Amino acid sequence: EAGVAQSPRYKIIEKRQSVAFWCNPISGHATLYWYQQILGQGPKLLIQFQNNGVVDDSQLPKDRFSAERLKGVDSTLKIQPAKLEDSAVYLCASSLEGVLGNEQYFGPGTRLTVT
Amino acid sequence: AQKVTQAQTEISVVEKEDVTLDCVYETRDTTYYLFWYKQPPSGELVFLIRRNSFDEQNEISGRYSWNFQKSTSSFNFTITASQVVDSAVYFCALSEINAGKSTFGDGTTLTVKP
């Protein structure tokens, strides 16, 4: 079974530029999560989708971050414009259903450096 | 609000020693789930175990064991006879039914030296 795929793996941009990350969850997984992991910290949930609907985006900085999950499968996370403090690893995860007891399967992450 | 505290930032042990990673959580919900994940140097988080708030039985899986105590709001993880391959960052996480999201601790970096 293929795991969660993310691309790109690394990205370096200058502040005020835009960037987009892509995630393809495990086939059949209805729930998709985007996390931000700053060096030395645990993952922080940015947004959670159930199929193509948003379940939670309370910690998403909506003035600069946006995410979509068209057709309930792939998802894209965008930052526009980027700030220095956005430097982090962006993790995508998926789980079977919207039930919180299901474990999450994580992708390898995208390491973003904003200079 | 939910919160997970992993007070041990870094732990270093010598191979074959036993080590316990602490996790303390805060929640107002009576129904919740607790998790442990491992993040090896390669970076990909891997699920280790899940516990729901109604199941306080301790669990053992090979060299790994978990101790869940609601009275102290703790969910500690013990590795017996540690190995170099256990070196990783370990995260404890909490999911509240009502809050609808998962909260992770800041992790404990475990280094096992040969």
B34 φ, ψ to 5°? -120, 145
Taking CA–CA distances from A58, the nearest residue in chain B reads B101
Phi first, then psi, for residue A19 (nearest 5°) are -150, 150
Radius of gyration of chain A (CA): 13
pLDDT digits (tens, 9 = 90+) for A76-104: 999 999 999 999 999 999 988 755 667 88
* Helix, strand or coil, per DSSP, at residue A18: coil
**A15-24, A28-37, A93-102: range with lowest mean pLDDT:** A93-102
- What pLDDT was estimated at residue B85? 95
pLDDT of B14-37, one tens digit each?
Answer: 999 999 999 999 998 888 999 999
Contact at 8 Å (CB) between A75 and A49?
yes
What residues of chain A lie within 8 A of the CB of B102, using their CB?
A: 33, 45, 100, 104
Planar angle of CA A57, A59, A62, nearest 5 degrees: 70
The CA distance from A44 to B94, in Å, is: 12
Residue pointed to by tokens 């930032």: B9
Chain B hits for A104, CB-CB cut-off 8 Å, are 45, 47, 102
Of A44, A48, A103, the CB nearest to B47: A103
On whether any CB of chain B is under 8 Å from the CB of A45, the answer is: yes
Cβ A37 vs Cβ A4: under 8 Å: no
Res. A1: pLDDT tops 60: yes
